[in-house]
Amino acid sequence: MGEGVTRLVQGGVTSAQGFVASGVHCGIKPQKKDLALVVSRGPAAAVAGVFTTNKVKAAPVLIDMERIRSGQGRAVVLNSGNANACTGDPGLRDAREMARLTAEHLQLSEDLVYVCSTGPIGVPLPMDAIRRGIPEAVRVLGPDGAPAAEAILTTDTVQKAVAVQVTIGGQIVTVGGMSKGAGMIHPLMATTLTVLTTDATVPPAVLQAALRRAADQSFNRITVDGDRSTNDTILLFANGEAGAPEIAGPGEALDAFQAALNSVTVNLAKAVARDGEGATKLIEITVGGAQSDEDAQRAAFAVANSPLVKTAIHGAGVYWGRILAAVGYSGAEVQPDRAMVRIGPVVVAERGIQAGGPELIEQAGEHLAGQDVQVMVDLGVGRGEATVWTCDLSEEYVKENAGDLS
């Protein structure tokens, strides 16, 4: 593999050297795995984090935001089936106890352990179950990341795990990770629970900047329903086990690492969007010809969050007017008599009016009937461009969010 060339490999959160993980059922959920653990075996790793921008933050988010200031960590314990959000001081005590128990069983300093939770809001954590589960999760730690990726799922239908390798300084460096997320997905935050690991040597400040750039190009470009969660967290651990030179700042090594990290986060983010609650399609929306990249992103998210657009695509309906309407109320500058809409390979609107007859509309409908949908809009104003990912909106979304979300 050539210097700086990234390649996707099979694996996930334990693909990088020196990382182990586990996933167990401790009793938060009736049957499914509900407690996960990811650990760096070596010395304290550098850690970076991105957290929800929701002003109502879950207890584990508050704990992690305190600990991330040190830039160091060794482990993260995650539970599903309960968000430990809106639980007051008892919730904070429970989150700290999760970290303390994990640290004791791993024989680590407590401040090197991070905590994540996901599930229904406002319900106290069943700590008896967690107290039983943590020693078991420590006991079964191993090189297979799949049980951990399974244990963090809530309404997700599939596990989400990715790994990428890149050569830096003549050494193979691996970046891997796992995510959960299917609903309550919207940007300006981490969007999901995501744990990323790498055996690269990266100091905390450089790692934090790289993670922010990666999140902005991936997790902050997806939306399922426009809601922002109380628990969203991305943690990135870098333990240096690959033996590659330290990536201390700008240069070819950082560019190569950033490309690998971006590849992992984009793949995971698209997997989250594809697995949106009740979703049947992954929708990629690109807006070009905008006054700025920010304007393009504003317009793209308006289209991506429009229930009218998402339901039309679910039914393979070529209602391109709904797309232009969303662009028009987005706040982005647009020149209606220069605007163009393309669905897949088919230009369905040009200069703000329908392009072509029934045959072209039928071709566009055939594209919308597939599982991977591309929508492109040109605003006819400038050179700004942005791409976001979303999913269709089905009756299953309503059913899932009207019931038990554990």
Closest to 276 in 3D by CA, of 254, 234, 307: 307
- Pairing between strand 75-80 and 72-73? unpaired
Q: Which residue, chain included where needed, has tokens 């003549």?
A: 170
Q: Is 284 helix (H, G, I), strand (E, B) or coil?
A: strand
Taking the C-alpha atoms of residue 298 and residue 302, their distance in angstroms, rounded to an integer, is: 6
Whether the CB-CB separation of 86 and 122 falls below 8 Å is answered with yes
Overall size of the chain counted in residues: 406
Crossing angle for the helix pair 293-305 and 320-329, to the nearest 10 degrees: 130
Residue 376 amino acid letter: M
Supply 388's token pair.
């976001």
* Alpha-helical segments (H) within 140-251: 146-151, 204-216
Taking the C-alpha atoms of residue 238 and residue 195, their distance in angstroms, rounded to an integer, is: 11
Dihedral, 116, 177, 156, 305 alpha carbons, nearest 10? 90
Q: Which residue, chain included where needed, has tokens 């314990």?
A: 77
Q: Which residue, chain included where needed, has tokens 């599982």?
A: 371
Neighbours of 351 (CB within 10 A): 13
Taking the C-alpha atoms of residue 216 and residue 219, their distance in angstroms, rounded to an integer, is: 6
Q: Is 374 helix (H, G, I), strand (E, B) or coil?
A: strand
Taking the C-alpha atoms of residue 290 and residue 384, their distance in angstroms, rounded to an integer, is: 4
Catalytic residue, from 6, 191, 223, 233: name it.
Answer: 191
Rg of the chain in Å (alpha carbons): 22
Closest to 277 in 3D by CA, of 191, 390, 396, 180: 396
Catalytic site includes residue 194: no
Residue 210 amino acid letter: A
Residues with catalytic function: 191
